[in-house]
Each structure stands twice: as structure tokens, then as C-alpha cells.
Amino acid sequence: MTRFLAILKDSMRETIDGKVFLAMIVLSSLAILLAASLSFTPKPADTGLSAMTDEFEKIPLASFDRSYAIQYEISDFKQLNDARKPWNGEYSFRLTARDAKKFPFKLLVMFTGMRGSRRNPEQSHQDREEIIKIVTEAQGKPQEEQEKYIEEKLLQKMQRVKAEQLEEYIFDQYTDRGNLEVTSVKSAPTPADEKGLYAFDIKAKGKANTYNRWPHDVGIFFGAWDLYTEPVGVAVFDIEKWAVGYVGGAIFLLISSVMTAFFIPNMLRKGTVDLLLSKPIHRWSLLLLKYFGGLLFMFLNTVVLIGGFWLVMGLRSGIWGWTFLLMIPILTFQFAIYYAVSTLAGVLSRNTIVAILAACFTWAFLFVLGWMFTLSKPVPGRESSKFHKTVKVIHKITPRIGDLDSLSTYVIRADLLQEDNFQKEQSRKAVEDISWPESISVSLIFIALLLGAACAWFSTREY
């Protein structure tokens, strides 16, 4: 333990002495300060409930443009209790939904219902079967008639959508996407000459975790610049995803690789290595301690960066996504892979630049490999190409950086997004589809092989 502490202290001194550590601290502090300058201002109750409709399902497919988007409006707003915070309030209001220019509200409700209805699953199933039948029938017709046939049939079917289905849709939207406890949704009359307009009288109140979905105005530099309006949980997720998950994480790993790359070559300089090798410590032990010293150093840096970011974001937004802290071991593990490469390159070449380049090359190689592996995957039912088979073999025996990226995305999303959030479901599925024992074992074996080779070389080499 004393020797480990000795190497660790020595590495710490070395890093502090090289100005990279200072640069790292300054960069981390800047990122944390920038996060601290973010402001999250909750929308007042009426505009908040209105902004909440931005999260509703408005268009049938994500690729459709705004001309397919349903328009919502809130009126007759009343607060029924004296709660100070809008997400704790109890409200009654009227919500009107207007057909989009190119898409009727009822058809959207029908499509949404097809995915499953809480109250009437049989109806949902029946709708789905009927629509599949319409599409199948259309396929038997000439090409130019297909679209028209589907449109006519769907519009006919749409007429059968009842008021209760529309109410259920609105109920579900406020419950799932607004995270409100909806106590009543009733259809209200609309002017007879206004076609495609639907009105609902709604009573709803806040729940324990309504805050997470409450729309906030997000600003930076203590509100000097307004950025956008979003549910606070989504806003925090977006910021953490970009600042730590994607760009920040990559920059952090790159700087850490540079910062630690000179540890080994410096230790092996002529005149320095003789002094160390004359000490009563095995060479492999010296090298491994140096490796773990670098790793621990990186871990501590990650604790500061991630912990600081999490603390500041929590204090500023009131959202405490605990799973975000899992980014600490994930980033450290990812770094352990690159640092093992850097260590082996450092021992073989005794050159810092070579060690940095080797780590960067490995990062790029694993990234491109994961990307090629995903892109070359065959469509289900088709046979794999030779290229995919080759990529698959290489992918199987090298660390799965992509798996760690998927895990990063999921842990950032896990506590911030609603259970039914599509992105969250996607990332959870991606994480569940990964064989973690295999993924982690491959990475650990990779690290062990590289460190073993480095130790073997270092132990037999004459200095």
C-alpha cells in the first residue's frame, strides 16, 4: 500500500508540475461554472399547461412537417387551490384541439390508440386489425389508386372515433407527458360552423413528480440569454447528454489520455529508470502501480467533474438524477482501455507522442469499428455480407466502446425522463440487448493482455 501511495503521489506531483493538470482543472471548473450559470425558470400555471401541450403527440410520424401538427389552445383557466408552486396546483381549464392543415385530430387519436389503450385494449386491437386490412387491400390495387383508397377508408373509419376516445387521448397525454393527475376530461361543445375543432373541459392537479415534466424557461449566464422552453427533466437531460455524455466525455477522455501519457515514458528515461530499478520493487509491480496510479488519478478527476456537474445541475434545476453519477465508473473504465494502450506504447517506444497517438488511434479505431459493425448489420432474414462477418469477428475480440456509450446515454436518461419516453425506452432496450458479461469480459481481457505484454517487455528489457 505504501508503494502504491508513493507512485500515486509521484504521479500527482508529475501531473501538477506539467501544466496539463492545471488546464484540466480550469476546463472542468469552466464547465461547472457554465452549468452553474444555467437558470431554470418555471412557467406560470396557465402558460405552463399550455407549453405542456408541446410535448403532446401532435403529428402521426416524426418525419412529417408542421402542416401535419395538431394545434392546441388553453382558455378559461382557473386555479382551484392556493398552491404557490405551479406544479403543486389544482386547475380547471378548457383545451381546444384544432385539425392540422393536412391531418385530422381524430385520425391522430386513432393512430395513437392503435399502439394500445389503457381502458379499451380490445378496441385498440380491432382498430389495428382493420387498418392492416385496409393497407393489405390497397396493395392489391394499381399503384396510383393505393394512396387514395387508404385515405378514403381511413377517413371513413375515423368517423367512428367516439368522444370517449378523444377524452381518453387527452387524459393520457396530460397523465403521461405532463405527469399530472387528471381528475376529469369532458368533451365540451364547439361552434357548429367550426369544423375540425374539439374542446375539452379538464380538471387536473400536480403529483409528486410533476415537477420533472413542468415546462421551464432555460437560460444561460444567470438568465441573460434565454435558450428554450422545455420540461425541466428533459432540459437537464439534454444538457448533461451533450456536456458529459457526448462532447464533454470525449474531450475529457482525450485530455486525460494526453495528461497521463507521459507518465510511463518519463519513468523510463535514462538516468531515471536506473534509480527506480535499483529499488526493492518488482518491475511488473512498478509498471502496474504506475498504471493504476494514472487510473486512480483519472478516477478522482472524473469524480470532481461529474460530481461537480451533478451537484451544480441539481442545485440549479432541482433535479437530482442519481444514475448520472454512474458516469464516473463508466468514464473511468473507458479510460482504462485507452490507458492500457498508452502504457504498452509508452513501454515499447519510451516516447510520449507515440503513447498519445496510440491511445487516440485506438479510440478512433474502436469508434469506426463499432460504427461499421452497426451499419453493416444485415436486414433481418438476409444473410450477412463477408464485410460484416469480418467486422463482426474484429468487433467480438476488441473492447465494445459502443456498449459503454449506450450505457452512458441510458444512465443520463434513466432518472430524468419519464418511463414512457420513447428515447428512454430505446436506450433501455439498447442496454438490455447488450450481453454485459461478454462485453465487460472482452474489455477486461484486452486490458489484461496489453498490460501483460507491457509488463513482460519491461521485466526483460535492459536499461
Partner 1 sequence: MLVIETVDLRKKYRQVEAIKGVSLKVDKGQIYGLLGQNGAGKSTMVKILLGIVNKTSGDAMLFGMQTGDTATRRQVGYLPEDHRFPEYHTAYSLLDFYGMLYGMSRTDRVRRIPEVLDMVGIKGRMKDKIRTYSKGMKQRVGIAQALFHDPDVIILDEPTDGVDPIGRREIRAIMQRLKEEGKTIFLNSHLLGEVELICDHVAILQRGEVIREGAISALTQQKGMYQIGLASAELLPESELRQRGYDVHFDGVYWDVGLKDGQTIDPVVDLLRERNLRIRHLIEKRQTLEDLFMATVEAAEPGVDKPRERRDIPQERRARR
By the rule CB under 8 A, 16 interacts with partner 1: yes
Q: Is residue 296 involved in binding partner 1 (CB under 8 A)?
A: no
C-beta separation of 391 from 369 below 8 A: yes
Q: How far apart are CA 324 and CA 220, in angstroms?
A: 21
| CA end-to-end span of the chain | 27
CA distance 397 to 385: 19
Q: Decide: 55 and 177 in contact? Cβ < 8 Å.
A: yes
Query: Is 209 one of the binding residues for partner 1 (CB under 8 A)?
Result: no
Q: Which residue in 37, 120, 183, 266 binds partner 1 (CB under 8 A)?
A: 266
C-alpha cell at 266: 518519463
Regarding 150 and contact with partner 1 (CB under 8 A), the answer is no
Phi, psi of 320 (to 5 degrees): -115, 85
148: contact with partner 1 by CB under 8 A = no
Residue 245 · residue 323 · CB < 8 Å: no
456 lines the binding site for partner 1 (CB under 8 A): no
Cα 229 to chain center, whole Å? 19
Establish if 5 lies at the interface with partner 1 (CB under 8 A).
yes
State in angstroms the smallest separation of the CB of 290 from partner 1.
12
Choices 14-22, 46-54, 198-206, 318-326 (CB under 8 A): range interacting with partner 1: 14-22
Minimal distance in Å, beta carbon 356 to partner 1? 19
Residue 3 contacts partner 1 per CB under 8 A? yes
Q: Which is nearer to partner 1, 17 or 129 (CB)?
A: 17
CA atoms within 13 A on the CB side of 43: 21
Q: How many residues bind partner 1 (CB under 8 A)?
A: 28
Q: Are 442 and 398 in contact (CB under 8 A)?
A: yes
At residue 412's C-alpha, the angle toward residues 219 and 20, to 5°, is: 80
Options 144, 278, 433, 437; binder of partner 1; rule CB under 8 A: 278
State yes or no: residue 269 binds partner 1 (CB under 8 A): yes
- Residue showing cell 449506450: 406
| Three-state secondary structure call for residue 174 | helix
Q: How far is CA 26 from CA 19, 29, 258, in A?
A: 11, 5, 16
Q: How far is the CB of 401 from partner 1 (least distance, A)?
A: 33
What is the per-residue binding string for partner 1 in 314-333, x denoting contact by CB under 8 A?
Answer: --------------------
Cβ-contact 35, 239 below 8 angstroms: yes
- Which cell goes with 21? 493538470
Q: State the minimum distance, in angstroms, from the CB of residue 264 to partner 1.
A: 13
Q: Does 19 bind partner 1 (CB under 8 A)?
A: no
The least distance separating partner 1 from the CB of residue 461, rounded to whole angstroms, comes to 10
Residue 270 as a binder of partner 1 (CB under 8 A): the answer is yes
User: Beta 71-79 vs 180-188: how paired, if at all?
Assistant: unpaired
Residue closer to partner 1, measured from CB, 16 or 155: 16
Determine if 282 is a binding residue for partner 1 (CB under 8 A).
yes
Q: What is the C-alpha to C-alpha distance for residues 311 and 317, in angstroms, rounded to an integer? A: 10
Is 143 near partner 1 (CB under 8 A)? no
276 binds partner 1 (CB under 8 A): yes
Is residue 99 part of the contact set for partner 1 (CB under 8 A)?
no
Q: Is 25 in the site for partner 1 (CB under 8 A)?
A: no
Q: Give the residues lining the site for partner 1 (CB under 8 A).
A: 2-3, 5-6, 9-10, 13-14, 16-18, 266, 269-272, 274-282, 460, 462-463
